[in-house]
Structure 1
Amino acid sequence: MSNIRELSVERRIAAPVEDVWRTMVDRFEEWFCPRPWRAEAREIEWRPGGRSLVVMHGPDGEEILNEGVVLDYEPNRRFVFTDAFTAGWQPSGPFMVGLFEIAQDGDGTRFTAAARHWTDEAWERHRSMGFEAGWGAMADQLQTLAEGGAL
């Protein structure tokens, strides 16, 4: 474990940065949540300080509300969000900061998704919840869509 309590996944995607970015933002609901779960982006303001409200729906009717704030948004590079705040900068019980970054990698794109945690306990809870499998599936879904495939 690093000093920043980070968990991450990485993929090389055989598509230009601009195509991967468009997929990340425009088709967010299609890749963000590992199937059979699905994401519903009730509100995402793609700008620093913007509200993020995503509901993850499970196959048995489960609903997990993820509310937070977009911390950073750099087109064709990255977006960063946290659940440490809700709309209007209201403090919330923080769990993580999520970073989704892309960079040119030869004739393709390197995608990195990372979750940084405030405490060792939160890091361990996220790891033991199945971070690698869940976020790995999410990255695979993004890769498939960005490369022109269907889910």
Structure 2
Amino acid sequence: MTAQTNAVTATVFDPRLDLELKREVPVPPALLWRAWTEPDLLMKWFTPAPWRTTACEIDLKPGGLFRTVMEGPNGEKNDNIGCYLAVEPEKLLVFTSALGPGYRPTGNSFLTASVTFEPTAAGTLYTAVALHKDEATKTQHEEMGFHHGWSAALDQMVALTKGM
């Protein structure tokens, strides 16, 4: 397998290190963008059930805060803080847990993710890519349920945005 460059994000997808979810959905990019960038909307779909997103803060600019708090059915709680690296309205979001607001290092380098929204005749080609520092971290994320979890969250987002 060879690495492929994604022209939109200018990142190189490496199947040894990265995970990808790509699907065409019947919702226009503008509504998916709102679901990703408005905290009240993001909290309704971001975490696959039975988990819930109970808090969200967004400062939508490069270097701006992206924070979510996820709570599990047994009282588990994950407070995730990161920052945006790239923001192109209705086209691209890139964020990372390695850096916090103002690009300050967090000490957490679990992943950097990009989400692209490409208009199609039927809606949007939605692509989410999770970049990892090494194969072990990629494998850990895959075993945690990347494909199932991110697909379930996408299904929840599509259901939400279809009703908007």
Higher relative contact order (CA 8 A, sep 6+): 1
User: Letter of the aligned partner of 1:28 in structure 2?
Assistant: L
**In 1: Cα distance, 2:122 partner to 2:139 partner:** 36
Which residue of structure 2 aligns with residue 109 of structure 1? 124
Residue 48 of structure 1 pairs with residue 50 of structure 2: no
Which residue of structure 1 aligns with residue 114 of structure 2? 99
Which residue of structure 1 aligns with residue 155 of structure 2? 140
What is the RMSD computed on CA atoms of the aligned residues?
Answer: 1.8
TM-score (norm 1): 0.89
Which residue of structure 1 aligns with residue 6 of structure 2? none
Matching residue within 27, 52, 55 for 1:15: 27
8 Å CA contact 1:6–1:115 kept in 2: the answer is: yes
**In 2: Cα distance, 1:50 partner to 1:9 partner:** 25
How many residue pairs match? The answer is 149
Residue 62 of structure 1 pairs with residue 76 of structure 2: yes
SS in 2 for 1:143: helix
User: Letter of the aligned partner of 1:80 in structure 2?
Assistant: V
Gaps of 5+ in 1: none
8 Å CA contact 1:9–1:139 kept in 2: the answer is: no
TM-score (norm 2): 0.83
Instruction: Tell me by how many angstroms 1:32 deviates.
Output: 1.1
Gaps of 5+ in 2: 4-13
Residue 6 of structure 1 pairs with residue 6 of structure 2: no
Per-residue CA distance 1:119-147 (angstroms, 9 max, x = gap):
11110100111111111101111111122
**In 2: Cα distance, 1:109 partner to 1:89 partner:** 30
